[in-house]
Structure formats: C-alpha cells, structure tokens
Structure 1
Amino acid sequence: MFTSEMIASLNDLETDIYNYVITHEHEVIYMRIRELAEHTHVSTATILRFCKKVGCEGFSEFKTKLKLELKSRQSIVKSGEHAVIEFFERTLSSDQEAVLEEAVQMLASADNVLFVGIGSSGILAEYGARYFSSLGKFSMYIKDFSYPIHNRLQKNSVSIVLSVSGENSFTIKQMNRLKREGSKVISITNNKHCTTAKMSEVNLAYYMTEEYYEDANITTQIPVIYLLETLARKLNQHEQQATLEDNHE
C-alpha cells in the first residue's frame, strides 16, 4: 500500500502519521479522522494531505484500502499434501521421463556441473550440488554471483539453474554469463513459459500453485527436491551402466 516513492514524498508530520499507522493498523481502520489526528498530534487537514499523498481521495478511502491490505495478508497456510499428490500423479503419467532422460544425457557428457539459485532456490541448489557429488558427479554451487569461474570449468559444463518464478534478474544475469562461456543449461522452474525456461536447453517444470504467507513465497519445494534427486540417481545409473559396457568390451 505504501510505496517507497510515497514514503519519500512525506514531510516530517506526515511521516509521523505513517509511522503511527503501520504500527497501529488494526486500530486505525476503526478510527475517525479526529481520533487519528489526536493520536498523531496533527490537524485533520494534515491527515487529509497524507491520504492524498498515498493515493487516496480522503480518509474513508484510506481506511478501505488499509482494510483490504490487512485482509490480503491473512493468508491461510494450506496443507501441501493434495498439491504434492497432484504433482506425483502428473509426473508419473506425463512425458517428463523423456525430458529427464535428455537432461541425464547432457549431464553425462559434461566435465563439470554448476548449480545456480538464489533465496530458497539457492538453498536447494547447494543441496543439489552436494547430492550430485555424493553420487559421484562432482558439482559446485555458485553462491556469490560475482565469484570468478575459470573458463575451462565452463567450456564443457552443464549449469542446473533453480528458480520458482524463472524471472529473477540475478539468476538470469548469471545464466547469460554461463551460456556466453559455453555452459549448457538445465533449468527447474515452476512453469515452462518463464524467461529462465526459454533460455535453457532443457527445462523441467513442476507447475505448483504459488502460495504466499504475508510477503514470503511458501510454494512447496518438494517437487524440486524430487527432480534433483531423480536426476542424480538416473545419472549415477547411466554412468554405472556405461562403465559395465566398457569393461565388457
């Protein structure tokens, strides 16, 4: 409701009103304009000027918008069971197996595997790098996007990029850098129509309904863990089979 531009435009008295409102939101929605003026030690005219600066015609409209804002934050955290079951049913009955196999073939021919992600996706990227390494494919997680990566590590590499929205500017910038140096990209995103997916050679999309609690994205990441572990296990099986075939020759 309050943008940074709005807050920057407030004078000292109006800033006092703003500070009072954000710390007493549930009380303010039931106040009359004179009551708010008394609590903030300003005139009703100052209250009205404040309302206009935050995009409202008057105090009534301001309270209505504030009520709607509070209501939108009253997120109910739902059980993720039905969503996860839906994901596995869709995965087992779809052509995703062919996409996984394509990704495995790409990973098998790579000398290096690099993981990219930020926020919760970064935590899972770090987990993915460790999981792949545990199954015999040494992998690295790039936590610092400015970290120098030697060209020879990128030439015959595959980057596994994790992003829920697929639109994170930092992630996209890192993808550009890696692709420019010759790395191929496998992305795991929530849908295949995002920028990250379109920039990738292979995309694994899991299509979960995005959920937010207040300002936090709490979309389940169980599909991402499943896809990472499935890729690592399939890759390990592929390389074991290749070793057996070499030994028989």
Structure 2
Amino acid sequence: MFISEQIASFSDLDHKLYSYIIRHLDQAIYMRIRDLAAATGVSTTTILRFCKKVGCDGFAEFKIKLKLYKKEQDADNDGHVIAGEKSLTEFLERTLTRDFEEEIINIAKVIANSKRLVFTGVGSSGILAEYGSRYFSGLKKFAFYLKDPFLPIHEQYIEDSVTIVLSVSGESQATLSQVHQFKQKGSVIVSITNDANSSVAKVSDYNLAYYASTEFIGNTNLTTQLPVIYLIERLAKATYFELQKT
C-alpha cells in the first residue's frame, strides 16, 4: 500500500500521519477522519491530501485499503513464524540421528588435534563467527575470528589449523575466495551452511547443513540462525570432551 516513491514525496505532515498510522494500525483502521486528525494534530484536509498521495480517492477508500494492508501484513507475519518454527523443529529432529552425531564427533576430533581454530563469515555470519571463537575459547580451545573476507592470509597464522566457515547461502564469492586461500595454505575447512549442495559446502572437507526455510522480508534475509548457534555450541562441547582425553 505504501510504496517507496510515495513515501519519498511525503511532506513533514504526511510523515507524521504515516508514522502514526503504521505504529497504531490496529486502531487506525477503525478511526473516523476527525479521530485521526485529533490523534495526529493535523487537519482533515491534510489527511485527504495524504489519501490522494497514496492512490485513494478519499478517506473511505483509504480505510478499505488500510484494512487489506493490515490483513496482508498479519498473514505474512504468521507465515514467517510458522515457517521458522517448522524449520527449527525439523533441524532438531535431524540432529538426533546417529549419523549427524557421528559427524559432529569426527569434526570435534579434528579440531581438538589442531593448533588453531579460525572462524570466518560475512554479515550476520561474521557476528556468529565472533560468538563461535569466544565460545570455543571459553572451553579451552584457542580460536579467533575474521570478519573481513579480503584480509591477506599468511601461512604462519593458520599453520595446522581448522577453519570454520559460516555462510547461509554458501554462495558468497568473497567467502568462496577466502575458503580457497585457506585450503591452499593447508587449513582443514569445516563449513556450516543452509545447503549441503552449496559451493562452499562442496569445497569443504566437512560440512554441516541445517536446511532452514529461507525467509526474506524485502531484501533482508531473515533465515533463522538458531541452528548455527546450536551447531557451534555442540561442536565446542564435543571438542572440549575430546581435549580431556589427551
């Protein structure tokens, strides 16, 4: 209902109206024009001009479109919540399988036998890379993280190392380029991706895929990262137990 071109043309009073309506959508769809004018401190004439700017002939049509807009928003939000919960439930069910648990233990043994553990990721994955390095370090395994995919990589810094690569899509060219550099320097690559068939997963020595439903609102990727956090923590604890054996 509200498109970027319309919002860009709004005056200060229009923005005041728009902000109030968006923040009080449940109430606004039932308001009379005088009620809305009183609540926002603008004139009814300003409201009618606002209705024209958003493609409505009058306030009555505006309210009809506003109700439809709210219905779409509610349906969209419910769909995202359901999709997210379903993805998380399916992931947790998969992690209870013997094969999945054995893969985690195998990777933990490799990490435990390495001298260094490097985490890398871009965007939200970079934030989780920092979290992963701190979590492992707290469990007595030295780890550090890289959020800059263009940082020069020197062999002495990653000698006898394991690199954990975090990537939702597994298709970022910057991440792929960094993975190839780590492999060339001899680092063992463990990737945590949303798809085992992604490019990052295929070039990794080990891959843990969580297959969460991809969720976008606009251009923002809101795919749940809860499985990634679980896998980081599960790997860290498994590594800790392996270290206790040595």
Partner of 2:144: helix, strand, or coil? strand
Q: What's the TM-score once normalised by structure 2's chain length?
A: 0.68
The equivalent residue for 1:23 is 8
Contact conserved, 1:84 with 1:223, CA < 8 A, in 2? yes
Q: Deviations over 1:82-109 (max 9, x none)?
A: 3322211121135111211221121122
Report the RMSD for the aligned CA atoms in angstroms.
Answer: 2.6
The ranges of structure 1 where at least 4 consecutive aligned residues each deviate by more than 2 angstroms after the TM superposition are 18-32, 74-77, 79-83, 144-150
Shift of 1:226: 0.4
Q: 1:78 aligns with which of 81, 87, 99?
A: 81
For the Cα contact (< 8 Å) 1:75–1:214, is it kept in 2?
no
Gaps of 5+ in 1: 1-17, 33-70, 243-249
Q: Structure 2 counterpart of 1:204, which letter?
A: L
Query: In the alignment, which residue of structure 2 is the partner of 1:141?
Result: 145
Note if 1:154 corresponds to 2:139. Answer: no
Q: SS of the counterpart of 2:81? A: coil
Q: Which residue of 1 aligns with 2:210?
A: 206
Alignment match, 2:125: 121
**Correspondence for 2:245 among 234, 241, 247:** 241
Aligned partner (choices 84, 97, 100) of residue 104 of structure 2: 100
Deviations 1:42-86 (A, max 9, x none): xxxxxxxxxxxxxxxxxxxxxxxxxxxxx89x8424143333222
- CA–CA separation in structure 1 for the residues paired with 2:112 and 2:200: 22
CA distance in 2, matches of 1:27, 1:157: 63
Q: In the alignment, does 2:165 pair up with 1:166? A: no
Classify the secondary structure of the residue corresponding to 1:78. helix
Q: Secondary structure at the match of 1:144?
A: coil
Provide the TM-score with structure 1 as the length reference: 0.67
> In the TM superposition, what is the alpha-carbon distance from 1:190 to its structure 2 partner?
0.4
Which stretch shifts more, 196-205 or 175-184? 175-184
21-30 or 146-155, which deviates more: 21-30
- Are the equivalent residues in 2 in contact too, given 1:122–1:162 (CA < 8 A)? yes
Alignment: residue pair count: 186
Matched-pair contact (CA < 8 Å) for 2:153–2:181:
no
Of the candidates 183, 186, 204, which is equivalent to residue 182 of structure 1? 186
Structure 2 spans left out of the alignment, 5+ residues: 11-50, 58-71
Deviations 1:11-67 (A, max 9, x none): xxxxxxx984573699678489xxxxxxxxxxxxxxxxxxxxxxxxxxxxxxxxxxx
